[in-house]
């Protein structure tokens, strides 16, 4: 069976975990700031705060820019549900805008049209690791919180790493991500004030220079353990190799699927560079996707529908959303499947997936 995803973990991670265990400092220890500093340096950004998940990073990022009850946040409906849920956590309203059919990211014109007097922030998602057009969104002068959970290693056309422009930007370290700590996340940001607020709020609102149980604001337990940060540090060391391997696998897929009726992920355009996260193709219209996924499984290939449109999930329908609101997103979401994709995938496995897909589409 060829799995959908598989992390690269080796002796460096094993040693790092053992060292952390032997230090007896499992939380609030030195590996947390060490991981934060190494991560921030890699992105060329002033600050980073390690947190327990990408969702936690997004949530604290929104709070840092002041999103609260009654505010609107313009965002993409073609994302993992967390990027919209965090807006609801603060009793604000996610205002979806349709996506670009090529990059699958928030369409800057649609986003502009969705801005109202109540818009407090914009929340672009760098979906599937492809850079969202943050430079175009910056023209509105509104706070931006970036969902870079899928986009470690991506770059904007001007050379800035995705997540390195200074806006609060959230990264996720779940096991299928470019870098994993099992579960975990990081918020990068330029503002020292934001960093102070985030560090307090991830730790139950603890006051920065006061005693253990002094809490001067509402907070959460969004801390990341030292063991997780130790894994993160070891993963950072091998990140360039893992990103290069992912790009190589993507290249093999492109060659193997040349001439296939599926739509492939877009090529890098205008100087933007994707940080490869998943290999998602769109099946031809009219093909039974669930049937295709079952048939692929029978041929030893895992796949899954990825991603469903957020506004059409039952929970969001209860908020009043309906089919037809965001036609580009709905068309893409109905046809997308993620194929197996991980750094240690071989060209033989890619060929096996491509052959299976071809056979399933022809059947
Ligand atoms: C686009 C996007 N946003 C947010 C998240 C949430 O990250 P986590 O699962 O670490 O909370 C993910 C992770 O899957 C994601 O892909």
CA distance 103 to 328: 11
Residue with tokens 């609060």: 168
The closest-lying atom of ligand 1 relative to the alpha carbon of residue 82 is: 4
**Model pTM greater than 0.95?**
yes
Residue from 55, 125, 222, 308 whose mutation best tests the ligand 1 pocket (most atoms within 8 A of CB) = 55
| Catalytic annotation present for 195 | no
Measured in Å, residue 345 CA sits from the centre of ligand 1 at: 23
Measured in Å, residue 178 CA sits from the centre of ligand 1 at: 12
**Beta strand residue intervals within the chain, DSSP E:** 47-51, 72-75, 93-96, 119-123, 146-147, 169-172, 185-189, 279-282, 304-305, 336-339
Q: Which are the contacts of 189, defined by CB distance < 8 A and separation ≥ 6?
A: 45, 46, 47, 48, 49, 61, 64, 166, 167, 168, 169, 195, 198
Q: Give the pLDDT means over successive 10-residue stretches in the chain (363 positions).
A: 97 98 96 98 98 98 98 98 98 98 98 98 98 98 98 98 98 98 98 97 85 83 98 98 98 97 96 98 97 98 97 97 98 98 98 98 91
CA distance 1 to 345: 12
Measured in Å, residue 138 CA sits from the centre of ligand 1 at: 23
Q: Are 155 and 162 in contact (CB under 8 A)?
A: yes
């Amino acid at each position: 069976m060829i799995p959908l995803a598989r992390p690269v973990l080796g002796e460096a991670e094993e040693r790092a975990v053992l060292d952390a265990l032997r230090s007896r400092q499992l939380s609030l220890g030195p590996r947390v700031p060490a991981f934060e500093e190494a991560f921030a340096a890699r992105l060329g950004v002033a600050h980073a705060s390690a947190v327990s998940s990408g969702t936690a990073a997004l949530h604290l990022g929104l709070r840092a820019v002041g999103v609260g009850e009654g505010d609107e946040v313009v965002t993409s409906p073609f994302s993992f549900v967390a990027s919209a849920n965090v807006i609801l956590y603060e009793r604000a309203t996610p205002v979806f805008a349709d996506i670009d059919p090529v990059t699958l990211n928030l369409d800057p014109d649609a986003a502009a049209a969705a801005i109202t007097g109540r818009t407090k922030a914009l929340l672009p998602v760098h979906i599937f690791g492809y850079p969202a057009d943050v430079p175009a969104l910056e023209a509105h002068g509104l706070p931006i919180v970036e969902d870079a959970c899928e986009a470690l290693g991506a770059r904007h056309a001007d050379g800035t790493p995705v997540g390195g422009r200074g806006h609060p930007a959230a990264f996720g370290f779940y096991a299928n991500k470019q870098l994993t700590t099992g579960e975990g996340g990081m918020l990068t940001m330029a503002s020292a004030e934001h960093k102070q607020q985030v560090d307090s709020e991830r730790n139950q609102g603890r006051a920065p220079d006061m005693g253990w149980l002094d809490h001067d604001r509402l907070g959460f337990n969004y801390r990341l353990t030292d063991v997780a940060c130790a894994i993160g540090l070891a993963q950072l060391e091998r990140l360039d190799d893992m990103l290069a391997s992912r790009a190589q696998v993507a290249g093999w897929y492109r060659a193997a699927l040349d001439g296939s009726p599926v739509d492939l992920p877009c090529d890098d355009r205008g100087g933007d560079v994707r940080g490869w996260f998943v290999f998602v193709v769109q099946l031809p219209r009219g093909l039974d996707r669930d049937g295709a996924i079952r048939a692929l499984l029978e041929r030893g290939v895992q796949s899954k529908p990825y991603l469903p449109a957020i506004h059409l999930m039952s929970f969001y329908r209860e908020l009043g959303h309906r089919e037809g609101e965001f036609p580009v997103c709905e068309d893409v979401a109905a046809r997308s499947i993620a194929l197996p994709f991980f750094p240690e995938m071989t060209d033989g496995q890619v060929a096996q997936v491509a052959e299976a897909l071809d056979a399933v589409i022809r059947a």
